[in-house]
Structure 1
């Protein structure tokens, strides 16, 4: 006949189990936390509103009549929405050609910068050779050199090569960038070296390691570099102004500037409609890649 045994915890243990943890003191410091968070949210909302106000005014101005854009006092909301401004900028200008040229340059330059920047960054971060650190420091130091200091010799060089007044001049100017190499190198250094060593033992070449291991792991950094390069190329004005003289090669920024200059009486409603169209691709690209952009910027500064 079996006996049932009941295990009873000792009295001190039961006492310890029955004692609830002491609540945190609710002093002045405990009440300040939600107030500080609320103040932080208010400050962030105010900063966001201050940054978005010019964009809101630009969009509203694109729907106003020409004489109502700079009215005093400012009318934030137009009394009559003039949707024909978008039709006029589309029909009175060569905006389709401008968008096409700008898109070709932005996509091509972005692809080349990602390709060259990631490949060079892999060499600086994973390949050991004499003078590597000094060469990388010298290369990154070119970021501090303003383009205006060497744009004239560069223009003479490209003109002698027969590339002036072609899209190839802008593509070659921006196909290589020290910032992209720096950004990708910082991200590559967060990838453990053990992955590369294991891949070498499996017979992968350095090119295979870069293509099959490093590139798939560096999607956030690639997204950050792509977004920054795309926006910079899309908004570039000085480069196209120097090299692109044929109206069929004008970019969005250069085309809008010449469109305004060719008008005897500037219709600012139509002009602002063109400006709204010019920022739409950038807004779409940023909205699609903002998560990767923030992650890439945050992790590229970490070395692990």
Structure 2
């Protein structure tokens, strides 16, 4: 019997296979991919220039003499070049003490909120109990509460325990965690396979062992994100130091910058080149920290929130 069965057709040869949609698109638009890539690169460069311009202006203006501080705002280099303000700022204010205070307060704030938030987030991610969703939603609802609402009660609490005028209120509140970081870390913990924890439980690990020996090492990128976010928030925070600190030797850098501006205006001689130099000194450490932890930072952003 020759031929093929009715209703069927002979298999087509390899040359008869239809081209994939991607291949068809490449044939129809040979330069499409390159054009799109160039367009996105141009848009990325334009957006980067917009975001970088304020910092570039800050650096350039801080390197100009006083009478030329606000001249030529679009010139990408100082004219004339006058770096003397970076020497004068150390004589105009105790910048070393303020820098040390900022590092200590920022590190303590970031460390406490990262550990405490991770502890709570692990509980929400691992344990199954009635009302877990409602309780977690209540935690997230606290993010809707404006900070100004709790400003006075919080001050009264710290004043009652005698800690106003010290640096403790600037970071000790983070011992109770943060709703944003709890949410972020919980999402990351949910991405860890549950059988990893169950196998450890079979081997006799306690719940605390699951947290310290398994969850935290695997969640390193998310922990670094929480740490860097809170360090940045504490580093540039002005409200708390403005409320709780009166001794200039305890000032952080933002509070110190405010004091410098007030001092110059009261004297009738606003030395903006010194203020701008102090602003550059305040900003550079955070830029360095970001570049050091950039790999973990991007990895954590990419992997957080894959599971809900």
Query: Do the structures match in fold with TM over 0.5?
Result: yes
Q: Deviations over 1:264-299 (max 9, x none)?
A: 311211111110000011101110112211211221
**Deviation at 1:67?**
1.2
> Could you tell me how far apart the structure 1 residues matched to 2:60 and 2:131 are?
56
Worse overlay, 155-164 or 121-130: 121-130
Helix, strand or coil: the match of 2:233?
helix
Q: Does 1:291 align with 2:300?
A: no
1:253 aligns with: 254
RMSD (Å), alpha carbons:
2.3
Give yes or no for contact 2:57–2:73 (8 Å, CA) kept in 1.
Answer: no
Q: Which runs of 5+ in 1 are unaligned?
A: 1-15
1:273 aligns with: 277
> Could you tell me how far apart the structure 2 residues matched to 1:20 and 1:149 are?
68
Runs of 4+ in structure 1 displaced over 3 angstroms?
16-30, 72-76
1:220 aligns with: 221
> Could you tell me how far apart the structure 1 residues matched to 2:304 and 2:16 are?
48
**Deviation at 1:82?**
1.3
TM-score normalised to the size of structure 2?
0.89
**Deviation at 1:79?**
2.1
Q: Does 1:236 align with 2:241?
A: no
Helix, strand or coil: the match of 1:242?
helix
> Could you tell me how far apart the structure 2 residues matched to 1:288 and 1:115 are?
21
Aligned pairs for 1:5-84 (under 5 A) are: 24-25=23-24, 27-71=27-71, 74-84=74-84
> Could you tell me how far apart the structure 1 residues matched to 2:146 and 2:174 are?
14
> Could you tell me how far apart the structure 1 residues matched to 2:119 and 2:138 are?
18
> Could you tell me how far apart the structure 1 residues matched to 2:277 and 2:215 are?
43
> Could you tell me how far apart the structure 1 residues matched to 2:16 and 2:137 are?
62
**Deviation at 1:34?**
1.3
**Deviation at 1:21?**
9.6
> Could you tell me how far apart the structure 2 residues matched to 1:142 and 1:254 are?
27
Helix, strand or coil: the match of 2:29?
helix
Q: Which runs of 5+ in 2 are unaligned?
A: 1-12
> Could you tell me how far apart the structure 2 residues matched to 1:251 and 1:34 are?
49
Helix, strand or coil: the match of 1:102?
helix
> Could you tell me how far apart the structure 1 residues matched to 2:124 and 2:15 are?
61
Q: Does 1:209 align with 2:213?
A: no
Match of 1:303 among 300, 303, 307: 307
Task: Provide closer, same or farther for how the CA distance between residues 18 and 143 of structure 1 changes in structure 2, counting only shifts above 3 A.
Answer: closer
2:8 aligns with: none
